[in-house]
Structure 1
Amino acid sequence: MTITNRTVQSETTPGRAGVRGVLGAYLSLTKPRVIEQLLVTTIPAMFLAERGIPSLWLVLVTLIGGTMAAGSANALNCVVDSDIDAVMDRTKSRPLVSYRISRGHALVFSIALSVLSFAVLWAGANVLAAALALSATLFYVFVYTLLLKRRTAQNIVWGGAAGCMPVLVGWAAVANTVEWPALVMFAVVFLWTPPHFWSLAMKYREDYERAAVPMLPVVATPRQVSVRILAYSWATVASTLLLIPVTSWIYVAWAVIVGVTFLVMAHRLHSGISRGHEVNPMKLFHLSNSYLTGLFLAIAVDAAVGLPVLA
């Protein structure tokens, strides 16, 4: 009888493992690794806007609000793209595909996150930061996911603008306005996104082809893709130098060092493809993550140290 009662209890009452599984599924829906990359650009933007170390409370509020905004956008993306995720090896374990979360629950969860994000940023920072975060969510869902992703090979070029918004949110949280250095950082992330994402798409080309998503590596030859990756990589590194008037030698030296490293890897990818060699585009993908992180860390350190700017 005791065994029967325990069996019934285990079938009707969620255990700790069950609760953790549900919470983990909702967390997975927000794509935490993507959020990490977005937040990497938010804090340095706040340091540069402050020209020093901003209020730790303001940083915390902005990170919480920004995390919820990005999580909301990612969850909505999962709702819209669940049919695509189901046929791609890279995404077929996502919660909506594996039926760990229903589409309806995911939709309510993502909308709630967006509302909370707006409230937190408005109350803790200002309405401009809140509005910019909300606009990023709306752009990512309606422009990139619904309009561009399934229709054009330029989807990630223009759709990637949503991933550039955290720098504007961070700057606005401190300054309650958006000034030209914030727009330069926006441009850096904007130009960085295509080589970063196309190198990943080269690796998972068959996945995107199976899902009928016209990512550039699906509709263009590897050499055509590598040429564009190279062009955007050069444009990215060049754009980082536009911050020279508001930074010191610390940032400039580091921007040149990591920029050269990034360009060398992009050239190696292009050279290998042009010569017909077998290449691993994921090397550039992983390096691009380190590049952006290192570059924006240099912005934060430079602003925190407070040396005279070069201009």
Structure 2
Amino acid sequence: MDVVEETTPETGWRRVRATVLAYIALTKPRVIELLLVATIPVMLQADRGHVDLALIAFTLLGGWLGAASANTLNMVADADIDQKMKRTARRPLARRAVAPRNALVFGILLGVGSFVVLWSAANLLSALLVTATIAFYVGVYTMILKRRTWQNVVWGGAAGCMPTLVGWAAVTGSLSWQPVVLFAVIFFWTPPHTWALAMRYKEDYKAAGVPMLPVIATEQQVTRQMVWYTWATVAASLVLIAATSWIYAGLAVAAGIWFGSRVQKLYRETRRGAEVAPLKVFLQSNEYLAILFCGLAIDAVVNLPLVTSYF
């Protein structure tokens, strides 16, 4: 005889709560932190000395909806490999907490909402840039690059750089060299950041058949690549000094040396055959980017004379 579970207000509430949490998890809330780190400082730099809280809030909302859409659609496309990886096995689609069709509709609606918010509150250019980001992340990175080449995060990482362009466009209605430089900073930063995590979970990626660089190369080869991309990140960050004051300049130099030295140390350790802790580099990469962009935000708000004014 089958046992029928009695439905009570308490069990009904638990189911609703579990469903809501599953849909929130589809958006990868922690990943969206990068949106906040990148967008706000860029918007402040685009209008140095001024703070338009309403525009910032609506741009963040539109950007959040766009990122949530991209992340949700990414999970729809990656549901099969998420089931094979310990790190992602608890994602909503991997554990069947949300139906794929429902997740697909949810992701599309988020994308539409993003476009509407940015077009109405900012301008058409920022809305189009977010839509292009979603299309690139899902269509190019997830469905083409991720499972075919070790350079997946190199080129696919461009999607994560787009908040710099979106933030600038939302304020000015156009683009210039400054957001492109900040785009380059995140572009070069993404490979060492991602490969550090992939070194820690390379068996997961191997089981899922994803050719991340740590899966197909030695630790020494991976860390050598990380060193090159890290110093490229630092070099790109220094280009922006021409449009900032000594506040950003000092932080960019100090943080760059701090981060670059740590990745260089990881490379030396792999050359010696020592046991390494790549997860520490992953965490430090997050701290580096936060320091850099927070420094830019402070610099823009304080609006001291530019470094170039002294020459």
| TM superposition score category, shorter chain reference | over 0.9
Q: Displacement of 1:310 after TM fit?
A: 1.0
Equivalent pair of 1:58/1:125 in contact (CA under 8 Å): yes
Pair 1:35-2:28 in alignment: no
Once residues 85 and 103 of structure 2 are traced to their aligned partners in structure 1, the CA distance between those partners, rounded to angstroms, is 20
Q: How does 1:190-201 map to 2 (within 5 A)?
A: 190-201=187-198
Once residues 135 and 115 of structure 1 are traced to their aligned partners in structure 2, the CA distance between those partners, rounded to angstroms, is 12
Equivalent pair of 1:151/1:214 in contact (CA under 8 Å): yes
Once residues 278 and 8 of structure 1 are traced to their aligned partners in structure 2, the CA distance between those partners, rounded to angstroms, is 54
Match of 2:278 in 1: 281
Pair 1:205-2:202 in alignment: yes
Q: Deviations over 1:15-60 (max 9, x none)?
A: 2222111111000000001001222100000000011233100000
Q: Displacement of 1:154 after TM fit?
A: 0.3
Pair 1:241-2:238 in alignment: yes
Once residues 62 and 270 of structure 1 are traced to their aligned partners in structure 2, the CA distance between those partners, rounded to angstroms, is 39
3-state SS, counterpart of residue 34 of structure 1: coil
> Could you state the TM-score of these two structures normalised by the residue count of structure 1?
0.96
Q: How does 1:34-183 map to 2 (within 5 A)?
A: 34-183=31-180
Q: Displacement of 1:203 after TM fit?
A: 0.4
Equivalent pair of 1:121/1:129 in contact (CA under 8 Å): yes
Equivalent pair of 1:192/1:236 in contact (CA under 8 Å): yes
Q: Which amino acid aligns with 1:294?
A: I
Q: Which amino acid aligns with 2:158?
A: A
Q: Deviations over 1:89-110 (max 9, x none)?
A: 0000000011110000000000
Once residues 124 and 35 of structure 2 are traced to their aligned partners in structure 1, the CA distance between those partners, rounded to angstroms, is 20
Once residues 62 and 96 of structure 2 are traced to their aligned partners in structure 1, the CA distance between those partners, rounded to angstroms, is 28
Once residues 133 and 61 of structure 2 are traced to their aligned partners in structure 1, the CA distance between those partners, rounded to angstroms, is 15
In structure 1, runs of 5+ residues without a counterpart are: 1-6
Q: Which amino acid aligns with 1:49?
A: A
Once residues 82 and 273 of structure 1 are traced to their aligned partners in structure 2, the CA distance between those partners, rounded to angstroms, is 34
Q: Provide the alpha-carbon RMSD of the alignment.
A: 1.3
Once residues 242 and 267 of structure 2 are traced to their aligned partners in structure 1, the CA distance between those partners, rounded to angstroms, is 33
Q: Displacement of 1:14 after TM fit?
A: 5.9
Q: 1:294 aligns with which of 261, 268, 291?
A: 291
Equivalent pair of 1:54/1:174 in contact (CA under 8 Å): no
In structure 2, runs of 5+ residues without a counterpart are: none
